[in-house]
Amino acid sequence: MNKFVTIEDLGLRDYKEIWEYQEVLFKGIIDLKIRNRREDAQLKTPNYFLLVEHPHVYTLGKSGDISNLLISEEKLAQIKATYYKINRGGDITYHGPGQIVGYPILDLENFFTDIHKYLRFLEEMVIRTLDEYGLKAARSKGETGVWLDVGTPFARKICALGVRASRWVTMHGFALNVNSNLGYFDHMIPCGIRGKAVTSLNVELGRTEVSMEEVKGKLLKHFAELFEAELKKETIPNNS
């Protein structure tokens, strides 16, 4: 099993560009696994963890309902946002500047073959990170992601999750609101769940801005602990 994970910090990049990049990495791992089985080979499969911010974009999962996007194409253009229907699980999600989006592209056969455990570990990574800021985050039963004040009228979501997996290889991932413009969430029903608020780390801490690099470092630390992974970080020049 290969426990090494290459971390790529991609900066601010267009959603479609990074979606296509994910697909290339995802297919490369699957093709290698197929080759190993056909040729009875033992070539190690790589693992990646992409960190990125996106310009304003709404994405709809394969089981999602387009009616959960509350604005027209004309209005999308006015607020300088784009929209894509994509191949992950879940419903509608917003990505934008000030939000840390993480795409672990892992061969889970290098770690464990349990998608439920994988999702819970991603949630736990975020929960432990928020705990370092004095926030007691938790899971909400039946609602994937990470929440604050679960079980109260003030429940609010701070991190969304949606993944795709094939042959135990993962793609897509999580979106943690750090310095997010929460006004953009008003244009959708977050994850298709009515009556639930969203929040951002800076809002919860009463700060104008929280260091994105600091939060990334904490996320990666907890990821490595949970997955018992060895991280190799690469900073990719931002060509946008």
Binding residue per annotation — 138? no
Binding residue per annotation — 89? yes
Binding residue per annotation — 56? no
Q: Using CB atoms within 10 Å of the CB of residue 154, give its burial: 0 to 12 exposed, 13 to 18 middle, 19+ buried.
A: exposed
Binding residue per annotation — 226? no
Strand duo 48-53 + 99-105: pairing: antiparallel
Q: Using CB atoms within 10 Å of the CB of residue 219, give its burial: 0 to 12 exposed, 13 to 18 middle, 19+ buried.
A: buried
159 given a catalytic annotation: no
Binding residue per annotation — 187? no
Catalytic choice (158, 191, 201, 220): 191
Binding residue per annotation — 183? no
Q: In the chain, which ranges are E strands? A: 4-12, 48-53, 57-60, 82-85, 92-95, 99-105, 137-140, 143-148, 156-166, 169-177, 197-198, 230-235
Binding residue per annotation — 91? yes
Binding residue per annotation — 162? yes
Residues placed in the known binding site for substrate: 88-95, 160-162, 173-175
Residues that constitute the known binding site: 88-95, 160-162, 173-175
Catalytic residues: 191
